[in-house]
Amino acid sequence: MAHQEKETIGVEWRITLGDGSSKILVPDAGPVSRIWIALKGLIAGLVLKVWKFLKRAWDIGVDDPRKVIHCLKVGMALTVVSLFYYMRPLYKGVGGNAMWAIMTVVVVFENTVGATICKSLNRVFGTTLAGFLAFGVHWVASQSGQEFEPLITGASVFLLASTATFSRFIPSVKARFDYGAMIFILTFSLVTVSGYRVDKLFDMAHQRISTIIIGTSLCILVTMFICPIWAGEELHILISRNMDKLANSLDGCVDEHFNYNGELKDSDKQPDKKLLGYKCVLSSKATEESMAKFARCEPAHGRFNFKHPWQQYLKIGASMRSCAYCVEALNRCIDSENQASEFTKKHLSNICLKVSSNSSSVIKEVAKTIKTMKRSPSIDFLVKEMRSTVQDLQNDLNFLPKLLSPPEVLHPESKETEETTSTTHLLEVIPVVTFASLMIEISSRIQAIVETVEELAELAEFKGEVQEKDKQNQPNTNRIVASQLNDDQQTMKALERV
C-alpha cells in the first residue's frame, strides 16, 4: 500500500516536470541548467549592485576625506572607551555600568563639534535632572509602603513621560532640547522603575552619571582636538559657496537664453550643471538652520569668536533664496513656448548680458567678502555699476517701441499696417520684457543680499576698511583689486562680443 502510494507520487512528479519542460522555449535545457542560469543572472546582478554601491561609497570618501576621518575618530573613541572593560582597575570602579560610556559615545558622537557638544550637554543635563527627580519620586514611593509603591512610581512615569513627550512638540523646545527631553524620559523611567528592584539605587545612578560624563568628555575631546569639523565654519563655507553657485547659474541662465540657437547645445553639459546651482540654494534651508544652531554651542575657533553672529547667516541665506526663486522663474523663461524674435533678442542681449555679468560679479564679490572676512573696497563701486546698467536696461526697454518701428517712418500714410506691425512686435517683445523685468527684480534682490552681508560685516567686525587708511603701507592689495576689476571688465567685454 505504502509502496503504491510512493509510486503514484513519483508519477505525479514526473508529469509535473514534463509539463514544465515542455513550456520553455529551449526544450534541451533541463530544470537544473535553468536554475543555474537564473542563479548566475541573480549573482551577476547582485555583484554588479554591490560593486556600484562600493563605487559610490568610494566616491563619497574621495569627495570629502573628512568623512573618512570622522569614521576613524568614532572607531578610536569607541576603542578608547572600551578600555573600561579591558583594564581591571577601571572596570572595578564602574562595573557593568561601563556600558553607558560606550552607549554615550555611540549616540553622542556627531560629525561636527557643535552637534557633539549640543548633544552632550542635552544628555548630561537630561540625565542629571531626571536622576534627581526620580530619586525624589523613589523616596516618596518607598515611604508609602510596599503596596502603593508601584502605583506611585507608575503614575509618576505616566505623567512625566507624557509631559516630556508633549514638550517635544513645542517648537522652541524641539529646536534645542529635543534629545534632552528624550534622555529625560529614558533616565527617569529607568531609575524610577528599577528602583523597585535594585537596592543600591544611589550607587547605580552615581556610576551611571559618571560614566555618561566620561563618555561625553571623551567625545568632546576627540571631536575638538583631532581634525575638528566646526559647524560654524561649515556654515560659513556653505553660504559663500552657495553664493558662487547662484552667481554662476545666473550667468549661465542668461547666456543660455541669448545663445539659444543650438550652437552650444553639444558642448553644453558643463553650463547645464552650472545652471542648476541655484537649486542648492533653494534646498539648503534646513542645513543652514541646524548648522547655525550647532555653531552657537561651539567655542571660539579659527577666525570666529564665541559670539559670532551666526543668526545673521540665516538672514543671508533667506535673501539668497529669495533671489534664487527669481532665477528659477528666469530659468523657466528659457523653456517657455513663447520665444522672442531674434531681432528683439539681439537688441537686448548686450545690455542683458551686461546686467547679468555685473550682477553676478556683485554676488561673487560679496562671496569673497564672506570668504576672506574682509570688507571689499570695490563692492560699492560694483553695486553702483550694476545699478547703472539696470538703469540702462530700463531705458532700453522704454525706447524699445521707437527702435522697433522704423518701417512706420517710411510709410506714414498707412495707419492700418502700422497698427498690425506694432501688435506683432509687442507679442514678440513680451518674453523679452518678462525676462528683463525679472533681471531687474533679481538685481534689486541682490542689493538685499549685499545689505545682509554688510550687516554681518558690521556685527562680526570684518576688517578691510582700514585698507583705505593704510594705503601707503599696503599698495599691493589695491593693485590686486584693481587688476581683478580689469579682469572682470575684460570678461564682460568678451561676453558682450559673444
Name which of residues 261 to 290 contact a second copy (CB under 8 A).
283, 285-286
List the one residue from 433, 448, 481, 485 that touches a second copy (CB under 8 A): 433
3-state helix, strand, coil split of the chain in percent (to 5) is: 85, 0, 15
Residues within window 438-477 making contact with a second copy, judged by CB under 8 A? 438, 441, 444
82: Cβ contacts below 8 Å, ≥ 6 apart: 102
Instruction: Please state the closest distance from residue 161 (CB atom) to a second copy, in A.
Output: 5
11 binds a second copy (CB under 8 A): no
Residue number with CB closer to a second copy (20 or 401):
401
Residue 30 vs 96, nearer CB to a second copy: 96
Closest contact distance (angstroms) between CB of 195 and a second copy is 9
Binding mask 397-426 for a second copy (x = CB under 8 A): xxxxxx------x--x--x---x--xx--x
Convert residues 152-191 into a mask of x (bound to a second copy by CB under 8 A) and - (unbound).
-xx--xxx-xxx-xxx-xx-x---------x--xx--xx-
Residues in the chain, total: 498
Does 148 sit near a second copy (CB under 8 A)?
Answer: no
Closer by beta carbon to a second copy, 29 or else 83: 83
Q: Does 437 bind a second copy (CB under 8 A)?
A: yes
Burial class (CB in 10 A: 0-12, 13-18, 19+), 432: buried
Does the protein bind a second copy through residue 391 (CB under 8 A)? no
Cβ-based nearer residue to a second copy, 98 or 457: 98
Take residue 308 and report the three cell numbers written for it. 559670532
Q: Binding of a second copy at residue 328 (CB under 8 A)? A: yes
Q: Which residues of 139-157 are buried (b: 16+ CB within 10 A; e: fewer)?
A: eebbeeeeeebeebbeebb
Question: Taking CB under 8 A as the rule, does residue 125 contact a second copy?
Answer: no
Query: Exposure pattern of 325-342 as b/e (b: 16+ CB <10 Å)?
Result: ebbbebbebbeeeeebbe
Instruction: Pick from 133, 193, 238, 485 the residue near a second copy by CB under 8 A.
Output: 193
- Position among 13, 36, 51, 53 found at the interface with a second copy (CB under 8 A): 53
Q: How far apart are the first and last CA of the chain?
A: 96
Instruction: Yes or no: say if 73 and 226 are a contact pair by the CB < 8 Å rule.
Output: yes
Work out the number of other CB atoms within 10 angstroms of the CB of residue 448. Answer: 16
- For residues 308 and 292, give the distance between their C-alpha atoms in angstroms, rounded to a whole number: 10
Tell me the number of residues near a second copy by CB under 8 A.
84
Q: Which is nearer to a second copy, 289 or 454 (CB)?
A: 289
Q: Output 60 or 494, the one with its CB closest to a second copy.
A: 60
> How distant, in Å, are the alpha carbons of 346, 361, 447, 462 from that of 369?
35, 12, 15, 9
Site residues (CB under 8 A) for a second copy, limited to 66-85? 67-68, 70-72, 74-76, 78-79, 82, 85
- Between CA 193 and CA 189 the distance in angstroms is 6
The span of 137-145, 239-247, 322-330, 451-459 binding a second copy (CB under 8 A) equals: 322-330
For 477, other C-beta atoms within 10 Å of its C-beta total 15
For the CA atoms of 440, 442, 443, 444, what is the dihedral angle to 10 degrees?
Answer: 90
Q: Tell me the C-alpha distance between 384 and 213, whole Å.
A: 56
Nearer to a second copy, 284 or 467 (CB): 284
Out of 434, 447, 477, 478, point to the residue binding a second copy (CB under 8 A): 434
Using DSSP's 3-state secondary structure scheme, residue 332 falls into helix
Sole binder of a second copy in the list 21, 34, 61, 368 (CB under 8 A): 61
